[in-house]
Structure 1
């Protein structure tokens, strides 16, 4: 699922918005055990209670994320450095570039992985030696 925020917020707030959205979706589909992988060290340590939250505007986000985490039987947060998280970075870049005129609905982005070259699925009856 992708979501574009149409509200003014800091990078920290956007990270919490994404985390909370993911936690809510996981709970909505009855996931009991969850591994949260992210490149935002501050969020991970604040939600786990390892780092204090000094920014008053972030505190409601931290509290909500902690409340949601308590609903899981098991939840683990794992930090992945940004340079090892190219896929997420690419999605964030795409989301920031797309303009959505007044619509609150965004068509989902579908990504499929192919394990064969397209030409491997094509067989000619008899090769004629021509490149076309």
Structure 2
């Protein structure tokens, strides 16, 4: 996409410490599986005025992983234009927003707790 948009200067941020440091010339590797990727990237590098590679630890890359996962599930039309996606970070973690209050006022895990403590099934349980 950067080539299609005639981008001249590019910053590539990746979470593979091995790959980023290999491309920067800092490290050598005996892993032959990485060579085809390295060769492709080296060929592409020549098409930019400047290109820089920066490593970010996977732990700091959760947002990029989430966006990549979403992108891999979407079929894109055969065009160079992709509509932008607006993302608003939440103040609390997603699992906190998914838990709804039970109508009886007890926490969602009350039935599990009763079973573990007393061996009692919830009244609405079936044989299954």
Instruction: Give the TM-score normalised by structure 1.
Output: 0.52
Mapped to 2, the partners of 1:38 and 1:44 lie a distance apart of: 7
CA RMSD of aligned residues (A): 2.8
5+ residue gaps, structure 2: 90-128
Q: Summarize deviations over 1:69-111 as a string: whole Å, max 9, x none.
A: 1221111111111121221121344467x5x8xxxx4476852
Tell me, what secondary structure is at the counterpart of 2:22? helix
Residue in 1 that maps onto 2:43: 67
Mapped to 1, the partners of 2:5 and 2:83 lie a distance apart of: 20
Aligned pair count? 85
Mapped to 1, the partners of 2:66 and 2:3 lie a distance apart of: 26
Higher relative contact order (CA 8 A, sep 6+): 1
Residue in 2 that maps onto 1:34: 10
Is it true that 1:112 corresponds to 2:92 in the alignment? no
Residue in 1 that maps onto 2:65: 89
Mapped to 2, the partners of 1:94 and 1:31 lie a distance apart of: 25
Mapped to 1, the partners of 2:76 and 2:25 lie a distance apart of: 35
Mapped to 2, the partners of 1:109 and 1:38 lie a distance apart of: 23
Instruction: Give the TM-score normalised by structure 2.
Output: 0.53
